Structure 1
């Protein structure tokens, strides 16, 4: 018999699992929903402050009560719940058949749960509210979110009004010690098979995760091991409330070892981002200075220039670096063959907290390019890709007179729910109304991930509202990164149209 032990996330308790647990029980499984101390279980009389170790002990107690020979225990941790799940599994590794990471982070030894809180302001609030106690455990509580504050903790996509009302009404304060005490692991848990359930309205899906593994993100390399599988659910951060039946079916399949396997980056295949560009573009003379490459057209100039800004985050260890990736060099050569300087560069977007640094790198590179005597400083276009999209806000909000066009391919145009950047200046949707007549060319992938597509739709809606000068070029069958993933005639035609649209703005 499969035994599911379900551990809820911050501010919530056993009640959120009601419908999912009922479905699993109906399918013949044994189900335990853990009441964490202070979040569904009252504090013991005279007990001290509640911390992560308290919650780990809560989970261990349920494991010990359920563990019997022949029973496979599947530990499911949602959101914050993955921290006590991993702490307990590390100490009871032989009793656990599988750990399920339900739309959660990947906690590491020595790191507190607060590090996974997406919103920087929330992290600061946690630190400010913490109070000392005699035993060294931080005291105090973090109040539960108000009804309109839940998106700061994760996407509410798929939640009905009634479900959101219930989530709010039953939410409990989170003991601060549970967020501030570092997780301690011996390493035993690393041998337990694992499954990740990705809620694609709140974060990346399997395809995007594979791309991140291919790029070489060190922390993600372990996800391509044979013991790790993945599932997707097209919903927000609380699937036990938005789609409990689908979640129950997914957990049942996960318990039997099902799911998608990622391919290791060194498995003898060419990673998606390093496959050939979909156009056969002749090489052009290239000059490298610092973090910037110029792909040069014929003649002395001055020529207009197109600066291509890569996406990310890209780990600092990635080799080759983005300015040598086929998509960027392909576009740079294409515009150079048509009389414009194609510029590729490397910027330091290594994490979603690096947008300030990345934006500064881009601005510095643009000024160096404009100072080159072969470049017409009054005719420059900026072309952004994927996770570079938020940087467009810098240029949309106050476009300089020399900026003739902003283009973006499959961009992220508003901070994603898990990034914690909602209040930052890197929000192109909010900046668009200040762009005036600046031409914007948007290349939209028809098979985009749901979370990114939502930001693009929001941008298009805002463009219609404020009368922005927006041209949309659709690639109906294209995926995120279609230039190396989908070398179809339709995709090639879209690239030709996009290049033509940008160069027309530069030369007009």
Structure 2
């Protein structure tokens, strides 16, 4: 028999699992929803002092011990621990202490907790993190639960019925601050326990996105390619037990059976997708490197030339090697631009996490000024070309376009904060900034096979652009994926690159 032990997230008690538990039980499973100390009442409840992460780990351990039995033991019970959101921290802590009794851990739309790191580090929203720290400094013992309209700051409320959101709000309890601030302590005993990740696409994360981060070499994610690790997607927001209990129950049963998608380990015999050859056969031109900036100059110059600055996406792990300016896509575009008679420029910026947009923007602005200051560059004729996760950086340039910016282009960009990013500074919202773009020509290259979560941000931006009459030329690659320049070397993709470059150069030289 499969025994599911369900651990809820911040502010929530075992009641959130009622519908899922009923469906799992009807399928023949045994279900225990853990009542975490201070969060297990039927409504807002008083929370005593001294409640921390270890308290909640003990709560989960107690349920494991009550169920009893070793994995594959005489009772034949297979314990599957399911941690949602914050709940994965006490779930993983308990698995570390009872690894021999746990058959599988399911990470339900949660992060990957690390030894010595508190749960607060997994909260994406900077404002919420600061709120927790202020409450702790003030000597408060708990964090008040969100108001009805503030749940979205803790995760997407997509597909959550009004009645469910009302019930979630009514049953919410204050979260003990110690549960968010106390570092998780792991011995590594649970590292051998199989795991499954259930990603809620409506909250901004999908399997393709995780695979891309694995391909970039992010060290903390390499263990996810272990064949004992599987993944599932649910097309809903952060609370699938309320927005889709039937689909979640089916997914949990499949996870318990070891089903699911397995990530592909990095193949050392061939380059990952982002390091494959550029789709165009362009001349390999020499470059000049100064600090974090590379310049590719036209073979022959007759005075200052216009320039295109290519801005890589991200977040990119700080230790990634090679760095983005050496990736074939950026090198290929820069060489292509130089071969067409303009200066191509690439740079490395410090977008290593979604909290880094401010410093990445400063890096880009500094590099652009250095390009314009070069005597071989016509400082009054510059274009900027952004890729992927650098999309939010376009807002700075659209919000108040300088007169020398002749065109702004973006390939498969993320044009609005993804739901699991938390509140991104209003400065980095392109859909708002485009209303101030005026006559600035915009070129947006759209991948037809883009992930749903990123495609939604592009559509949000284009809708805003249509409303304000912005000058946007959309270049479609119907059969192209994110990063099509190295992933899809087709005639369709090549035609899109030629068209986009031709448009940018036309605006530069007009």
TM-score tier, shorter chain, comes to over 0.9
- Confirm or deny that 1:103 pairs with 2:109: yes
**Shift of residue 45, structure 1, vs aligned partner:** 11
- Confirm or deny that 1:30 pairs with 2:42: no
Partner Cα separation in structure 2 for residue 46 and residue 356 of structure 1:
38
Contact preservation (8 Å) 2:443, 2:504: yes
**Shift of residue 420, structure 1, vs aligned partner:** 2.6
Mapping for residues 102-121 of structure 1, pairs under 5 Å:
102-121=108-127
Contact preservation (8 Å) 2:38, 2:47: no
Taking a change above 3 Å as real, the CA distance of residues 92 and 402 of structure 1, as seen in their structure-2 partners, is same
What is residue 404 of structure 2 aligned with on the other side?
A: 402
Mapping for residues 293-442 of structure 1, pairs under 5 Å:
293-300=294-301, 301-442=303-444
**Shift of residue 44, structure 1, vs aligned partner:** 11
Contact preservation (8 Å) 1:67, 1:73: no
Partner Cα separation in structure 2 for residue 457 and residue 162 of structure 1:
29
**Shift of residue 50, structure 1, vs aligned partner:** 1.6
Contact preservation (8 Å) 2:5, 2:82: yes
Farther-moved stretch of structure 1 (34-43 vs 374-383): 34-43
Partner Cα separation in structure 1 for residue 436 and residue 242 of structure 2:
39
Contact preservation (8 Å) 1:139, 1:175: no
Aligned residue for 1:399, secondary structure, equals coil
Aligned residue for 2:432, secondary structure, equals helix
Aligned residue for 1:37, secondary structure, equals coil
What is residue 186 of structure 1 aligned with on the other side?
A: 187
**Shift of residue 226, structure 1, vs aligned partner:** 2.2
Partner Cα separation in structure 1 for residue 267 and residue 476 of structure 2:
33
Partner Cα separation in structure 2 for residue 47 and residue 497 of structure 1:
64
**Shift of residue 367, structure 1, vs aligned partner:** 0.9
**Shift of residue 294, structure 1, vs aligned partner:** 1.3
What is residue 9 of structure 2 aligned with on the other side?
A: 9
What is residue 261 of structure 2 aligned with on the other side?
A: 260
Structure 2 unmatched ranges of 5 or more? none
**Shift of residue 392, structure 1, vs aligned partner:** 0.8
- Confirm or deny that 1:79 pairs with 2:81: no
Aligned residue for 1:251, secondary structure, equals helix
Farther-moved stretch of structure 1 (10-19 vs 55-64): 10-19
Contact preservation (8 Å) 2:3, 2:30: yes
Contact preservation (8 Å) 2:111, 2:122: yes
Mapping for residues 264-275 of structure 1, pairs under 5 Å:
264-275=265-276
What is residue 135 of structure 1 aligned with on the other side?
A: none
Partner Cα separation in structure 1 for residue 23 and residue 336 of structure 2:
55
**Shift of residue 389, structure 1, vs aligned partner:** 0.8
Contact preservation (8 Å) 1:49, 1:139: no
RMSD: 1.8
Normalising by structure 2, we get a TM-score of 0.95
**Shift of residue 337, structure 1, vs aligned partner:** 1.7
What is residue 50 of structure 2 aligned with on the other side?
A: 49
Contact preservation (8 Å) 1:204, 1:449: no
Partner Cα separation in structure 2 for residue 48 and residue 373 of structure 1:
66
Partner Cα separation in structure 1 for residue 259 and residue 432 of structure 2:
42
Contact preservation (8 Å) 1:309, 1:362: yes
Please list the CA deviations of residues 334-369 of structure 1 after superposition, one character each: whole Å capped at 9, or x if unmatched. Answer: 222211111111111111121121111111111111
What is residue 90 of structure 1 aligned with on the other side?
A: 96
Mapping for residues 145-224 of structure 1, pairs under 5 Å:
145-224=146-225
- Confirm or deny that 1:126 pairs with 2:128: no
**Shift of residue 293, structure 1, vs aligned partner:** 1.3
Mapping for residues 445-464 of structure 1, pairs under 5 Å:
445-464=447-466
Structure 1 unmatched ranges of 5 or more? 133-137
Mapping for residues 474-493 of structure 1, pairs under 5 Å:
474-493=476-495
Contact preservation (8 Å) 1:155, 1:237: yes
Partner Cα separation in structure 1 for residue 236 and residue 47 of structure 2:
42
Taking a change above 3 Å as real, the CA distance of residues 44 and 308 of structure 1, as seen in their structure-2 partners, is closer
**Shift of residue 46, structure 1, vs aligned partner:** 10
What is residue 473 of structure 2 aligned with on the other side?
A: 471
**Shift of residue 48, structure 1, vs aligned partner:** 3.5
